[in-house]
Each structure stands twice: as C-alpha cells, then as structure tokens.
Amino acid sequence: MTDAPTTTTTEVLDGVDLAGRTALITGATTGIGKETARALAAAGATVVITARTDEKGEAAVTELVELVPGGDISYEVLELGSLESVRAFSDRFMAQHDRLHLLIANAGIMFAPEGRTVDGFELHFGTNHVGHFVLVGRLIPLLVASAPARVVILSSGGHHASDIVWDDLAFDERPFNKMEAYGQSKTANVLHAVELDRRLAPLGVHAYSVHPGMVRTDLGRTITRDDIADLQARAAGAGGLPPQVGVDVGAATSVWAATAPELEENGGSYLADCGVSVAADYAVDPAAAVRLWALSEELVDESFPDPSAEPDD
C-alpha cells in the first residue's frame, strides 16, 4: 500500500490569484466538487457550480459563501443524465457568460446498480461521459474565447477495470458488472481529455484528466460489501487499495490541474497526487480517443467540429 497523499487545496493555491477568472464546476454540492469550488472562490475566482435540484444548489451556495465571505459563487441546475437538461443548461450559460476560463467536469456516479439514463445510455457511461461530452462540446466557443483556459475531467484509477467495449457499451450482450461499467466510463473520461487537448491546445485551451484518489465522500453511497470485496481483489496485484483521504486532499489535484503553470507543456495528461501520472495504455491511445469522439457525436446526434482544423477567415 502506498502512502496517502497529503497536499491540500490550500497549499496548491497558496499565492495564486484567480481574480477575473470564471470557473464552472459540475456536481459541486458535496464532496471534492464543493471543496474545489471553495478553494477556487477563496483564490478570487467567480465560481458557478451545478446542482441536480434548486434545493441542493441553494444549500451548497449558502454554505460556500459562509466559508468564503464575499465570494462570487452561484449555482445552476443540471442533470447530466438528461441531454435535454445539458443542452438547456449550456444555452443558459452561454447567454449569461462571455468568458469561461476553467471548466471542471467533476460530477459523476460510481458503482450504481444497472440502469439507463433518460436517453437510453448505460447509467455510468451516459452520466460520467456522454453528459460531459455534450456539455464541454457546447462550451468550447467560450473556452476558446477565454484562452488561456483549461478543462479538467475527473476520471479515476478505476479506469483500469475496463477499456471501452466498443461493440457492447451498454452491456446488452454481456452480464452487467458495475465495476466494469464504472471503469469503462472512467476510461472514456481519460480519452475525452486526450482528444480535447489535441483539438484545443493550438488555441490555448488545455485538457487534463484527474484521479483524485480514494476520497471520503458520499459518492460511494451505493457500494455494497460485495463491491468492496471485488475492489480489494482487483487491487491486490497493485499492493492493495490506497488509503482514504479527506476532500481537501482529494480535490487538490483538480485545482492543481486547473491552475498549475508547469502543466502548460503536459496537455492531455492523466494526473494524480498533484503530479503527472500513468494511465492504462488503452486510456491514452490517441486513435482510441479519436474513435470515442466520433462515436460520442454519433450517439448524441450532435457534432463539435475541430476548431484548430478550421481555416481562418
């Protein structure tokens, strides 16, 4: 077992001034998303968080403003499992904001029972990847207009549980396995960052995927004893499960990815413990990243042209 990370969000942002920067963080009413919002707001950023309901959004903003007096923090309702909600949110955000410097795709589900989104996607893949794919794609013009800008996509070491199963994304032809479903969605998150950076880096927008570590949050509320046993068995060959950390440590790599100047030369990287890390080969394969982008466009019936390939007027 490796030693637990210790770097906190406060340490990462010591001396960092984000005044004039706008950050959007999905799923920031609890856990590391909320801590990411607190840390960025404390450093001076204008922060917009997303919540699944008005009630959750209002409660989170109230608490965040108490933690960061005078902080510019607001919320919008977004349900990533509904493309109608994603598109409505993106339209509202584009109408209300002319800049977006930091987009942190933090929201997600883990080890949920078998299910589908309202659009028919396997629940993990649809929520963790497809919803964010459409959201980020629709906000690309704002990111490019705000360059230098960054996109941070929360993945997980759990991506090692599964590559993309291209001919059976939704477990139609194989028994459902929540570890593999989660792993496939987290692999998609890494590949999304790889292709996003390839497309946007020439325009001053970098993308990164992040493994936050084993963090004590309510994300694992659906985990059963059998799931824990499965996790332990899968991790045995790698020395066992890593130690759990608090949200101030779990969110540190997200804020580091969003702000660290030394990452300018490492676009598309998979990050962990406030450093460049190593993902499974299949998760960083550029050809697979291109394939996933094309497949995702097909699945959502919406295209996001490569702005770096478009000729200047």
75 is catalytic: no
Catalytic residue of the set 75, 182, 208, 270: 182
Q: In what order do the strands lie in the sheet with 275-276?
A: 73-77, 46-51, 22-25, 102-105, 149-154, 205-211, 270-272, 275-276
Hey, what amino acid is at 233?
A: A
Distance of alpha carbon 218 from alpha carbon 90, whole angstroms: 27
Closest CA to 289 of 269, 260, 311: 269
91 Cβ partners below 8 Å, 6+ apart?
none
Distance of alpha carbon 243 from alpha carbon 227, whole angstroms: 17
Q: Give the H or E element holding residue 202.
A: none
DSSP 226-257: HHHHHHHHHHGGGTSPPPEE-HHHHTHHHHHH
189 in Cβ contact with 208 (< 8 Å): no
CB atoms near residue 100 (< 10 Å)? 24
At residue 126, φ and ψ (nearest 5 deg) are: -70, -40
109 in Cβ contact with 130 (< 8 Å): no
The residues assigned a catalytic role are 182
